[in-house]
Amino acid sequence: MKVVVNDVELELAPGTSAIDAVFAAGDDVPYFCSQEYMSPIGACRMCLARVGSPRKDRDGNWILDEETGEPKIFWFPNLMATCTTQVSEGMVIDTESEAVKNAQNGMVEFTLINHPLDCPVCDKGGACELQDRSYEYGDGLSRFEFDKRHSEKHHELSELITLDRERCIHCKRCVRFFEEVPGDEVLDFIERSSHTFIGTMEGGLPSNFSGNIADICPVGALLDASSRFRGRNWEYDHTRSTGMDDATGSAVIVDARTGRIERIKAALNPDVNKTWIDDGTRFGHEYVDSPDRLTTPLVRRSGELQPATWPEAAAFIAERLAGLGGKDVGLAIRADSTLEEGVAAQALAEKLGTGQIDHAPRPAASVIANRPATLTELATADAILVLGDVTEEAGIIDLRIKDALKGVTPPAMMAHGVPIADLRLKERMPRNASILTVAAPYRVDLMRHAGTAITYPVGGEAAFFAALTAVAEGEELSAEQSAALGTDIGTAKQLVKRLQDGKNAVVVLGGFALARRDAADAARAFVKAVGAKEMPVGPMANSYGLELLGVLPSHERYSYEGMLEGARALVLSNLDPAKDPDVAAKLKDLELLVVHDMFMTETALLADVVLPARSVYERDGTVVNLEGRFLPVRAAPVEAGNAEDLTGVVRYLGEALGERMEGRSVRSARRVLKKRFDMDLAELADYGTMPKARSRAAQRTSPREAPATGGNLLIVPSMARAEYLSRNPHLNAAVGGPKLRMNPADAAQQGLMDGAEVRLRAGGIWRDAVVHVTNNVPSGLMTLPTLPEQAVGVTQADLGSLVVNQVRLEVAS
Ligand code: SF4
Ligand code: FES
């Protein structure tokens, strides 16, 4: 429809807001309360404009202006909030008249009445919307001489978020965020008028997505507690990259200052994370700045690990490798290595003549879907089945599912980006929970939002999907099959029908479904039987990419687990198998153990050579997310000593072995990748690329798989990576440490209190944990967060080994 903004005529889609019309015309209008992915509410009154529109007479004809003969414009009696005004045919919007300028000026003055104007000591200074708008639209003078409202300036809303109540301008973005985006209503306005403040009733912000409110608060009222007072905005180097914490590939901005990462913020990727990230991605970076980072290579001489240069370390490795048959050498890299590092690892394996190459953790089943669903398809699905705990596994999946419950398709991009005000979004919108079914062996958070929640028997994924397939195919179920469903037959029939009838049905396969081949086969047979699409969730940021590239063993017995037992020499990148004492005993017998890692892990302590590794924030490269989207990873300017990524390792080793190997640098690896994927990865756009034709995944072998049943411990996904938790103090405090969750009856039987710090041998590995007593875990089962060395699935905890280190004086809540 035709709209005129400040004399510029535009053609806009019906439903567009007047504020977006102004931006589409290339003009500006100030705003505070609007946010592109939340409901427009007209709270701040900053976006006022003069708006008029033509009218029709009773016969349906435009009322014409007598002088011009054109449709007459009838101006609204008051200035309008453009964020809540929808454009109509012939609407005229004026943001430049004296009346509008006076109103904008007045609103800035009004908003500043009680604002402390402590910009010189505010973390938001230099990136504050109120500061910018006051400068652009304010008068520069204050007429208020009375005392301002005083309030609490250091209120800890949680371990992660600090609130300065004086700075709040009551835009309600934070309150709306929790209700509208994750659906965790943990914050609200309290009191009225100028006494209004935001707060929680229970204390804390129990949500996996709490950090987003620090990004969207237009002023410095809500701040990331981990970076508070660490630097001014103009001092940070902002690096746009991809979150490496899970398989969704959220867009992030890494802010570094003087060689240190100070904070991570969410960046916009409309097709992936919109503008949200989970707290694991945001706050899980502090380990990078740990004082115990390895910064120089170490070589074992006379039984001691001693500092060496890279060429010395590489020469030492080359000399020792010369005495070994290539097939005896194993090479394993962590599954968040980039594609470029994968190429480097493959080139090294080829040079050494070994088929023992793998990435870990790697689930028993492929993470590449047969019938793939994108995150946008998930967000617009009309029937969803989730197996697992995706809120912990890859939080963005949780949020995109909640988009689907609202039933609003993401808006089309406009020239100025995502619309600022999507008028279809409303506060407290009804959510269609009936389209969502969540199944897991214990009660997971997403079940609160699901129309149907199913708790099936532990380790029973294969039987669960096989029984559902039998329902889909109209078979009579045996008693055993009925028990495997974890719900009654009527509910199962409804679920199957919903998925079959759905025009866009998606089944999300969390780690439990991929942990065993029989479970994944059964899941994929079910997906096919109901005609749905699938979204497998790989365990790490580049699980998909490394499988696609083929960083895989040539034979099943050469998998990571196999090579720990069978190889005579090992090169391990960012993996720590010696956490298991039985594996450590075998590693001691190796003829050569090379460990590439950031820290002196238990495996590094046994190594002949230790090579310092770059963290995921210090690498350039590419990852492929769970949709198959290629996304750019960019290195932040962080001081990491002589640390190198795998391409650097291969460069030095190549020099020592007398060969310029492919993958000796990111550039060289990209030449190989261009041939493989027909893509120039150096030019990859911020939002990433989904190849039109999918490359064929490499032929894959399977690693050893977890037992189906028979354990008392379930290794579960965790938003906060357990291997780094002790070096991530803020996140550790917020999530309450690595939780050993157990049922109250089991805790009583073991004589354990909530909060007890324990050590136990779980699946062979000694784990430190904090007991969390909860009814969400069935009796006879405990859960513990996954490690790279301990994939999700059932295992056995040795309760005889359980030692209570310390009992905190906290009573179970
Ligand atoms: S704390 Fe920030 S986001 Fe929340 S209402 Fe106040 S100004 Fe708005
Ligand atoms: S009233 Fe706040 S942006 Fe329109």
pLDDT in tens, 561-593: 999 998 999 999 999 999 999 999 999 999 999
Residue at token pair 């035709």: 2
Burial class from Cβ neighbours inside 10 Å (0-12, 13-18, 19+) for residue 809 reads exposed
CB-side neighbour CA atoms (13 Å) of 473: 14
Provide mean pLDDT across the span 533-545: 97
Question: 217 CB less than 6 Å from ligand 1?
Answer: yes
Torsion of CA 219, 222, 227, 230, to 10 degrees: 40
Distance (Å) from CA 31 to ligand 2 centroid = 5
Best residue for ligand 1 mutational test, from 217, 223, 224, 427 (most atoms within 8 Å of Cβ) = 217
Best CA proximity match to 687, nearest among 264, 374, 273, 368: 273
Mean pLDDT of the chain, nearest integer: 94
How far is it, in rounded angstroms, from Cα 625 to Cα 250? 9
- Whether the per-residue pLDDT at 808 is higher than 90: the answer is no
Closest of 769, 369, 396 to residue 533, by C-alpha: 369
Average pLDDT over residues 211-224: 97
Asked if 608 and 594 count as a contact pair (C-beta separation under 8 A), the reply is yes
pLDDT for 322: 87
Give the percent of the chain with pLDDT over 90: 89
Q: Report which bound ligand comes closest to the CA of 165.
A: 1
For residue range 127-138, what is the model confidence (pLDDT) as tens digits?
999 999 999 999
With cut-offs at 50, 70 and 90, classify the pLDDT of residue 809: very low
CA distances from 574 to 227, 335, 612, 763, 813 (A): 27, 9, 10, 20, 38
**Residue 696 phi/psi, 5° resolution?**
-75, 135
Q: What is the mean pLDDT of residues 496-523?
A: 96
Q: What is the tens place of the pLDDT at every residue in 70-126?
A: 999 999 999 999 999 999 999 999 999 999 999 999 999 999 999 999 999 999 999
Which residue lies with its CA nearest to atom 6 of ligand 1? 168
Give the integer Cα–Cα distance in Å for 31 and 19. 9
Which of 167, 171, 212 for mutating ligand 1's site (highest number of atoms within 8 Å of CB)?
Answer: 171
What is the position in ligand 2's atom list of the atom closest to the CA of 41?
Answer: 1
Measured in Å, residue 30 CA sits from the centre of ligand 2 at: 8
For residue 216, the ligand closest to its alpha carbon is 1
DSSP per position, 711-780: -SEEEE--SS-TTTGGG-HHHHHHHTSSEEEE-HHHHHHHT--TT-EEEEEETTEEEEEEEEE-TTS-TT
Q: Is the CB of 124 under 6 A from ligand 1?
A: no
Please name the residue that has the structure tokens 């190459």: 357
Question: Taking a C-beta distance cutoff of 8 angstroms, is the pair 158, 228 a contact?
Answer: no
Q: Is the pLDDT of residue 708 over 70?
A: no
Residues 257 and 362 sit within 8 Å (Cβ to Cβ): no
CA distances from 506 to 279, 481, 524 (A): 26, 23, 12
Q: 143 CA distance to ligand 1 centroid (A)?
A: 24
Residues 334-375: pLDDT tens digits? Answer: 999 999 999 999 999 999 999 999 999 999 999 999 999 999
Protein residue whose Cα sits closest to atom 4 of ligand 1: 174
759, 768 Cβ separation under 8 angstroms: yes
Name the band, by pLDDT with cuts 50, 70 and 90, for residue 695.
low
Helix (H) or strand (E) holding 417: none
Q: How far apart are CA 495 and CA 243, in angstroms?
A: 34
Relative to the CA of 33, which ligand 2 atom is closest?
2
- Which of the residue ranges 21-30, 192-201, 757-766 has the most confident prediction, judged by mean pLDDT? 21-30
Residue nearest to atom 3 of ligand 2 (CA): 31
Q: How far is CA 454 from CA 491, 521, 532, in A?
A: 9, 20, 19
Q: 364 in the Ramachandran plot: left (φ > 0), alpha (ψ -120 to 50) or beta?
A: alpha
> What is the value of pTM for the model shown?
0.95
138 phi and psi, to 5 degrees? Answer: -90, 175
| Alpha carbon distance, N-terminus to C-terminus of the chain | 57
- Closest to 283 in 3D by CA, of 258, 266, 259: 266
Mean pLDDT confidence for 446-475:
96
Query: How many residues in the chain?
Result: 813
Q: Which residues contact 659 (CB under 8 A, 6 or more apart)?
A: 351
Over 70: is that where the pLDDT of 555 sits? yes
**How far is C-alpha 319 from the geometric centre of its chain's CA atoms?**
42
Residue 694, pLDDT score: 64
Does the pLDDT of residue 810 top 50, yes or no?
A: no
| Ligand (nearest to CA of 32) | 2
Q: Is the pLDDT of residue 734 over 70?
A: yes
- Strand, helix or coil for residue 386: strand
Q: What percent of the chain has pLDDT over 70?
A: 98
The Cα–Cα gap between 472 and 704 comes to: 31
Give the Cα separation of 295 and 539 in Å (integer). 28
Looking at ligand 2, which residue's alpha carbon is closest to its atom 1?
42
With a 6 Å cutoff on the Cβ, whether 670 touches ligand 1 is no
Question: Contact at 8 Å (CB) between 321 and 353?
Answer: no
Q: Residue 378 and residue 502: Cα distance in Å, rounded? A: 12
In three-state secondary structure terms, 651 is helix
pLDDT for res 704 = 73
Q: How far is the CA of 613 from the centre of ligand 2 (A)?
A: 48
Going along 550-674, which residue ranges are E strands? 569-573, 592-597, 609-612, 621-624, 630-633
Give the distance (Å) from ligand 2 centre to CA of residue 406.
23
Which of 28, 32, 36, 108 best tests ligand 2's pocket when mutated (most atoms within 8 Å of CB)? 32
Contact indicator for 418, 441 with CB cutoff of 8 Å: no
pLDDT score of 39 more than 60: yes
- C-alpha span between 592 and 576 (Å, rounded): 16
Q: Is 187 in the pocket of ligand 1 (CB under 6 A)?
A: no
Evaluate if residue 219 carries a pLDDT over 80: yes
Nearest CA to ligand 1 atom 8: 171
Cα dihedral 291, 295, 296, 301 sign: positive
> What residues line ligand 2, using a CB cutoff of 6 Å?
31-34, 42-47, 81, 83
In which residue are the tokens 């490269």 written? 621
Least confident of 17-21, 155-159, 339-343: 155-159
CA angle 350-355-357, nearest 5°?
A: 90
Ligand nearest to the CA of 172: 1
CA-CA distance, 361 to 343, in Å (whole number)?
A: 18
Half-sphere exposure of residue 656: CA atoms within 13 angstroms, side-chain side: 22
Q: Which of 32, 164, 172 to mutate to test the pocket of ligand 1 (most atoms within 8 A of CB)?
A: 172
In order of 25, 622, 733, 784, the CA distances from 726 in angstroms are 51, 28, 9, 15
What is the average per-residue pLDDT within 298-311? 97
